[in-house]
Structure 1
Amino acid sequence: MRWRPADFSLRYQVLFPLYAHLPPVLGYGLAAQQATIFRRNKADEAASIRAQMCSALPEASDTQLAGWLDDYYRMVEQEALDTWYLQHQPIQQIVELEGFAAIEAARRQGKRVMLTGGHFGRFWMAGPAMRAQGFTTGTITRDGGATNSHGLHPAEYRYRLFKLQRLQQALGGNFLVEGDELRPLYRALNDHLIALIFDVPYIEAHKGRVTVNFISGTIDLPAGIYRIAKKTKAVIAPFFMRDLGGGRVRAEFSALLDPYDYDETVLMQQLASQLEQRIRESPGHWWLWPALPLLRSNNNDSGDSSLAG
């Protein structure tokens, strides 16, 4: 067998760069078809996701569960391909915005705006579409990717760095690391939309959690989006992605939320309820099924909390 570098990846180094030169409907179609092939190496993960879906949505039939898993792995492949299409295709052919006028109006009034969602669908694609409308977007991440702190496969780690670079170029705003000083965030919010996608809480961050109702139980969520928005006097703009087929998606924005109108538990419950509605509509488009046990409020002390879509 010919020797290959440890960080070689057929998907990342051959297939996706090739697909990205094709019309989107064809490229995304090929990415969807290959999902079945690359999923074969993730049998344990697929079984875990299916178990979580079944636990949360016990009324689901075997046929529904199988379809949702197909949706999940199709999304994984298409989301990876997004990284290459950011450079090769007009973004308007792939993404449309709905409800964005409220954010445009808020910015015209000089308001700071924080975007949020719950790791649903190909959410990064909203940023380039907003850039096409003249609005740059930054984000707050859990780490800057400088080291392979999560022990990813070398090919996966190299892809994550490449993806981060492409996103920074496409979104045009500051990429800040969670836990750093607030002063750069204040400045960034003056110039950009800033996204903070609510995630699995850190195991040790007990004070930053709130418990909310969510899909046949309760979960703990980090309330950072609420606290940061309140400190910076920003409004919160929830958004979720809808898959339109053929690789196209729509970013759908909900009504703006002013943190001064709520306490943190009520606001996070609103976000969780909106996310649950989207999950019930399209269960296969939620990235955090593998992390649901870590979110459950009766299971605060298990596992690593550093999971993201």
Structure 2
Amino acid sequence: MPLRPDDFSLRYNLLFPLYGRLPPSAGYALAAQQAAFFRRKKQDEEALIRTQMQSAFPQASAMQVEGWLSDYYRMVEQEALDTWYLQHQPIQKIVEMEGFAAIERARKQGKRVMLTGGHFGRFWMAGAAMRARGVTTGTITRDGGNANVHGLHPAEYRYRLFKLQRLQRALGGPFLVEGDELRPLYRALNDHLIALIFDVPYIEAHKGRVTVNFISGTIDLPAGIYRIAKKTKAWIAPFFMRDFGGGRVCAEFAALLDPDDYDETALMGMLASQLEQRIRENPGHWWLWPALPLLRSNKNDSGDSQLTGR
């Protein structure tokens, strides 16, 4: 029996395109059911995430941690399926929004607005819901280069490119690659919301980090969202996703922040605090558990082992 080509993927080439033809409730249910199967193919990753969850929440029982892990891998599968449902109409059957009216008012007043969050939940779906209300969104991403510089499996790399193309069509704003010329971003803020999701800092990038409190310890965060907002006179709109089950989510927008009212450490600390609150409510919906060792500050005074890698 001939081997399948390296760029074939059961998930991306067969299952998700099939699910995407179904009503969302059925498609997301099938994606959730396959999570356990594909989770078994990621045993090293699962072990790392389990360790980080246990160290972050030492009072949690093994049953609780197992439930969080199930939530995590269910989210992974449903988020991948989102790529096929981004242009599903009406998107309101999949995504609700709370607090977005404040952003709409700010835009009507001529304010520039940058969206931000901490990789919590299926956050890209908020962009599709905003587009349905006539608001376009762009972003800055680390993906999208012409070469597979991160060494992804060929099928995964092709999916990432496909996802970015789908996202850009669905969200309607410019997609800029991190490290490129940022002047287009400043101009784009006049016409679009721009999302900059705070992420793990580059290992070599010592400048531009701030150290903030985060679950019994500290983490280092890049302060780019603060600096760009300050320079462009944009307000910052934090948002996080709440999972309703069955594939449905809600984008919750926190109060708008004026960077002139804070220094970079205070503002990034506030964003980290908001993220921590959501993680404590639903630990299985934070994407960066495997990357927490890269976020963790070397300057922890206490609890350093309690949050190394969520």
TM range (shorter): over 0.9
State the partner residue of 2:157: 157
Q: What is residue 308 of structure 2 aligned with on the other side?
A: none
**Structure 1 counterpart of 2:226, one-letter code:** Y
**1:258 — aligned with what?**
258
Give per-residue Cα distances to partners, 1:62-116, cap 9 Å, x unaligned: 0000000000000000000000011344211100110000100000000000000
Give, in angstroms, the shift of residue 207 of structure 1: 1.3
CA shift for structure 1 position 23? 1.1
- CA offsets, 1:184-222, max 9 Å, x none? 111110010000000000112111100000012100000
Deviates more, 1:177-186 or 1:197-206: 177-186
- The Cα of 1:144 is off from its aligned counterpart by 2.4
The answer (yes or no) to whether the contact 1:244–1:250 under 8 Å persists in 2 is yes
User: 1:5: Cα distance to partner?
Assistant: 1.4
User: For residue 22 of structure 1, what is the aligned residue in structure 2?
Assistant: 22
User: Structure 2 vs 1, CA of residues 122 and 95 (structure 1 numbering), >3 Å: closer, same or farther?
Assistant: same
Residue 293 of structure 1 contacts residue 299 of structure 1 at CA under 8 Å; is this kept in 2? no
Contact preservation (8 Å) 1:17, 1:84: yes
Conserved 8 A contact 1:57-1:216: no
Residue equivalent to 2:305: none
Q: 1:122 maps to what in 2?
A: 122
Contact kept, 8 Å, 1:21 with 1:88, in 2: the verdict is no
Q: Distance in 2 between matches of 1:61 and 1:23?
A: 36
Cα distance, 1:299 vs structure 2: 8.2
Give yes or no for the alignment of 1:75 onto 2:75. Answer: yes
Deviation digits for residues 263-304 of structure 1 (CA, Å, limit 9, x no counterpart): 00000000000000000000000000000011000189xxxx
| Pairing of 1:26-65 with structure 2 (within 5 A) | 26-65=26-65
Compared with structure 1, are the counterparts of its residues 299 and 52 closer, same or farther at alpha carbon in structure 2 (3 Å cutoff)?
farther
How much does 1:181 deviate? 2.4
- The secondary structure found in structure 2 opposite 1:297 is coil
CA distance in 1, matches of 2:143, 2:242: 27
Shift of 1:179: 2.5
Alignment size in residue pairs: 300
* Distance across 2 between alignment mates of 1:145 and 1:69: 31
Q: Are 2:145 and 2:177, in contact at CA under 8 Å, matched by a contact in 1?
A: no
The 8 Å contact of residues 241 and 249 in structure 1, kept in 2 or not, is answered as: yes
Structure 1 residues 218-229: aligned runs within 5 Å: 218-229=218-229
Give the secondary-structure state (helix, strand or coil) at the position aligned to 1:191: coil
User: CA separation in 1, counterparts of 2:122 and 2:154?
Assistant: 23
What amino acid maps onto 1:260 in structure 2?
D
Displaced runs of 4+ in structure 1, greater than 6 A? Answer: none
- Counterpart CA distance in 1 for 2:182 and 2:33 is 44
Paired with 2:88 and 2:136, the residues of 1 have a C-alpha distance of 19
Structure 2: distance between partners of 1:215 and 1:59: 13
TM-score, normalized by length of structure 2? 0.95
> Residues 1-309 of structure 1: matches in 2 within 5 Å?
1-298=1-298
SS of match in other structure, 2:67: helix
Alpha-carbon shift at residue 178 of structure 1 (Å): 1.8
Task: Check whether the contact 2:87–2:128 (CA below 8 A) recurs between aligned residues.
Answer: no
- Cα distance in 2 between the residues matched to 1:182 and 1:6: 36
Give me the whole-angstrom Cα distance separating, in 1, the residues matched to 2:276 and 2:82.
25
CA distance in 1, matches of 2:242, 2:295: 23
Q: Partner of 2:256: helix, strand, or coil?
A: coil
Q: Secondary structure at the match of 1:38?
A: helix
